[in-house]
Amino acid sequence: MTAEELAATYFRSWVDGDWDALRAVLADDATFRGPLGTADGAEQCLAGLRGMREHLLTDVAVKHRFVDGDDVLTWFDLHTSVAPPTPTANWMTVVGGRIAASRVTFDPRAVLAGSA
């Protein structure tokens, strides 16, 4: 898969709760950094994504995907059960045909207030 296809699979699998497909695109040593947490290793990343899907996430509305070689920036609205859609940026780096790093940024105030 191309870097863009990996990113698309990641988001589709996350929203659909297809954990096997999501795990298949993550490198074993994948890392995640974002305003709601961090994870080191594919299993921690998967656990964090699963927890968010089960407790907060209702949808991801991708607005645009920017591809630069093995780097993919996905701009999307994060839909949750506790806050209005939140504009979000996710920068993924692909190494060896899998997602090795995911860095996310968004204003978490509404999500945090809604889940309190």
Kindly report, residue by residue over 2-42, the tens digit of the pLDDT.
Answer: 999 999 999 999 999 999 999 999 999 999 999 999 999 99
Going by the DSSP 8-state scheme, the letter that residue 18 receives in this structure is -
Dig out the tokens for 93 from the structure: 């780096």
Fold of 3-115: Nuclear Transport Factor 2; Chain: A, (3.10.450)
Rounded Cα gap, residues 115 and 113, in angstroms = 6
The domain segmentation of the chain, as residue ranges, is 3-115
Going by the DSSP 8-state scheme, the letter that residue 4 receives in this structure is H
- For the chain, give the mean pLDDT: 96
Q: What is the pTM of this model?
A: 0.94
Kindly report, residue by residue over 64-89, the tens digit of the pLDDT.
Answer: 999 999 999 999 999 999 999 999 99
